[in-house]
A and B are shown apart, each in its own frame.
Chain A
Amino acid sequence: TQLLEQSPQFLSIQEGENLTVYCNSSSVFSSLQWYRQEPGEGPVLLVTVVTGGEVKKLKRLTFQFGDARKDSSLHITAAQPGDTGLYLCADPSYNTDKLIFGTGTRLQVFP
């Protein structure tokens, strides 16, 4: 069974700081999704990365897929309170129908 470990588990920072969170797998991903879950809501897809070494940007968020496709990172520049939430990576390759979610990184950005 594939395991998706995310780090750090918790992160509390001040507005304006930069941060990076990581997602690591015990096996190779075919692709990887990143979701954000705001308090009291369900997860929402941010991005899907497919190719090893791929970099995607979404405003202040930069997503990178490792060359070997066993890891991924999410970098946030100048974090804002609105970035607060649970960040989840998910692997759609274990089964074409379902997702395996990572353990999550809970981010709190203070004004």
Chain B
Amino acid sequence: DAGVIQSPRHEVTEMGQEVTLRCKPISGHDYLFWYRQTMMRGLELLIYFNNNVPIDDSGMPEDRFSAKMPNASFSTLKIQPSEPRDSAVYFCASSRPSDGNEQFFGPGTRLTVL
């Protein structure tokens, strides 16, 4: 089976531009998580969904960040407008209760905002 798929793998953009990150979770997984990882702050949970419904978005840093999950096989994380401090690696992960809270991570998107 394919794992979690993220695109793009790398994104370089200029400050002020809109950035959209994409994620396809593992088929059959009920939960989808978006994380941000930096050297300074480690791995931070931004938002997660259960059955396509946002459950907890308390980790979203500010209104410039938004996430959607229009169906069970696709989610987006959007940053508008982007700022240099948004530079990080963004991970998507999915899980299902029968796996005992194990989360399966995608390869990440490395975002650089100039």
Contacts and interface: CB of A to CB of B under 8 A. Distances in A.
Contacts of B14: none
A95 B33 CA distance: 14
Contact of A42 (B4, B45, B101): B4
B103 A103 contact: no
A98 B45 contact: yes
B107 A42 contact: yes
B29 to A, nearest CB: 12
Given A98-B33, A98-B45, A101-B43, A42 B105 contact: yes
Contacts of B106: 42
Contacts of A103: 42
B11 to A, nearest CB: 15
If over half of A's interface residues share one DSSP class (helix, strand or loop), that class is named, otherwise mixed; here it is loop
A45 B43 contact: no
Interface in A1-43: 31, 33, 40-43
Contacts of B21: none
A92 interface: yes
Given A48-B102, A99-B101, A41 B55 contact: no
Contact of B105 (A40, A43, A102, A104): A43
A3 to B, nearest CB: 11
Contacts of A42: 4, 91, 93, 105-108
A88 interface: yes
Contacts of A100: 45
A97 B31 contact: yes
Interface in A35-77: 40-45, 48
Interface of B: 4, 31, 33, 42-43, 45, 48, 50, 55-56, 91, 93, 100-103, 105-108
Given A41-B105, A88-B43, A98-B48, 5 more contacts: A40-B107, A42-B107, A92-B101, A96-B101, A98-B33
